[in-house]
Amino acid sequence: MYTYKVVLHPNNKQQTKLKMIMNKCIEAQNIVYDYLDSLMRKNKLEHERTRKFIKLPTCLEVRRWFTIQKKILDEEVLEKRASMTKKMQRENHLDFLFYDCTNDALKQTVKDTYRSFMRFLKKESKYPVRKRYSNVKKSFYVDPYKIEFSDKKVKIEKISNSKKQNRRVLNLISLAERGRIPTNCEYYNPRVIYDGYRFYITVSVSDDNAPLKYKEKMQKINKGNEVIGVDVNINDIVTSNKAGTITTSFSSINNTNKIKRIERRFRRTQKSLSRKYEKHKITHKSLKEAKNYIKTKHKLHNLRCKLNNIRDAYIYYFLNKLLFIKENTLVKKIVVEDLDVKEMMSKENKGQNKYLRPLLQKTSFGKILEKIKEKCKFYNIELLQANRYYASSKICSLCKNKKIDLRLSDRIYRCDKCGLIIDRDLNAAINLANY
């Protein structure tokens, strides 16, 4: 299975329509969430009283329940609409119905929400969270049999309901990359995504339809027998093998000028936003009317997405270097340390880590670990997480002597017993490789 992710270039009308469908999907998700959540609560009370669980409805029953609910809600909106002008409808968010959405998108969101609860019951994940409308990654599902790709465009159903020919063109959204996604083949799980900055389409195809470069690469790959330790820091990421002969160090992306420049702009926009907010407090206008406030808010969100995208791209770059020790040779095993990020970020440690906190947030340890896990599963590489209390940076990599009085500010490790002088992070990485 190979997945394509391509940027879309929708025009203004298409953008509003796509956003509307996404918002409706979130609304549907929250309706189903509330329903299942209330059932789960009832179940818990019942269990305390009688020691028995009530049987939860199946996915099909929930979907049937939702289709009835959807019709009732649509009729309510139509009643409210009757005495309104089009402008008033738009202001009160009544200009779009569940009926205007594609049925496949709604059906899939109900399925996904139901599945998230089931995953909780099987103890595979945490309790699901209710979605918010603002600042979340929005997406919707498209039926793989109804989607059509051409070299330049993708056809998505029901962006325009009209039968007029010039209106039907609205269904065709232009792609940023020409001829990248193969035409006339079977597609799996296509989704349109919006991260607040850009629209994307992701679609999977079978391995036969993957690009040639990828196929050739996959054939050449063979497995080596190196064990690699990874030490993640605020300033850099250092990797090493057991003997310390093959080492790499990646300086953090947050130290580059590119990121620093955007961060500066981010801070400036933040200040300007707060100034506009204070101004509107005095005039007592509602924030929905404040056009300049909304404009800067969008600007800020765009910058945030830009920063995230650059950081994500760097993680992928780092991962490719980590997994391939030489060209086309995979590593055998990866050892990472288990950082207690939650405790570091907790409010009790706030005074201690006043300057560290934002830096820790930017480094995104959680995301790096998640991506490493994902890739290791894909390439079938063994992944080991060191014990939380294993002091990888305090132990000498040569004689295993433990140095207790090591401070965070000491960048170079000096062993008292054997006199080894080594870079602190490299020492930790070698220790992890030998774990």
Shortest Cβ 394–Zn ion spacing (Å): 11
Q: Is 418 in the site for Zn ion (CB under 5 A)?
A: yes
DSSP string, 78-116: HHHHTT--HHHHHHTT-S--STTS-HHHHHHHHHHHHHH
Q: Is 416 in the site for Zn ion (CB under 5 A)?
A: no
What CA–CA distance (Å, rounded) separates 234 from 118? 37
Nearer of residues 211 and 419 to Zn ion, judged by Cβ: 419
84: how many CB neighbours lie within 10 A of its CB? Answer: 14
Strands 172-175 and 227-232: unpaired
Q: Is 420 in the site for Zn ion (CB under 5 A)?
A: yes
Q: Are 143 and 104 in contact (CB under 8 A)?
A: yes
Which span (69-77, 116-124, 159-167, 409-417) binds Zn ion, by CB under 5 A? Answer: 409-417
- The candidate with the shortest Cα–Cα distance to 293, out of 311, 320, 274, 306, is 274
What CA–CA distance (Å, rounded) separates 50 from 53? 8
Q: Is 136 in the site for Zn ion (CB under 5 A)?
A: no
Site for Zn ion in 340-369 (CB under 5 A): none
Nearer of residues 203 and 396 to Zn ion, judged by Cβ: 396
Nearer of residues 4 and 413 to Zn ion, judged by Cβ: 413
Shortest Cβ 404–Zn ion spacing (Å): 14
Which span (69-77, 164-172, 240-248, 388-396) binds Zn ion, by CB under 5 A? Answer: 388-396
- Choose, by CB under 5 A, the member of 7, 78, 359, 399 that binds Zn ion: 399
Q: Are 8 and 175 in contact (CB under 8 A)?
A: yes
Which span (63-71, 182-190, 207-215, 416-424) binds Zn ion, by CB under 5 A? Answer: 416-424
Q: Is 210 in the site for Zn ion (CB under 5 A)?
A: no
Shortest Cβ 33–Zn ion spacing (Å): 56
Which span (150-158, 163-171, 227-235, 391-399) binds Zn ion, by CB under 5 A? Answer: 391-399
**Which class for 425: exposed (0-12), middle (13-18), buried (19 or more C-beta within 10 A)?**
buried
Shortest Cβ 372–Zn ion spacing (Å): 29
- Choose, by CB under 5 A, the member of 40, 315, 383, 398 that binds Zn ion: 398
Q: What is the size of the binding site for Zn ion (CB under 5 A)? A: 8
Nearer of residues 232 and 396 to Zn ion, judged by Cβ: 396
- Choose, by CB under 5 A, the member of 64, 401, 411, 412 that binds Zn ion: 401
- Spell out a b/e string for 98-113, using b for 16 or more CB atoms within 10 Å of the CB, else e: beebbebbbbbbbbeb
The continuous run of DSSP H or E covering 299 comes out as helix 291-323
Q: 14 is written with which tokens?
A: 């298409």
What CA–CA distance (Å, rounded) separates 218 from 2? 12
Q: Residues interacting with Zn ion, by CB under 5 A?
A: 396, 398-399, 401, 415, 417-418, 420
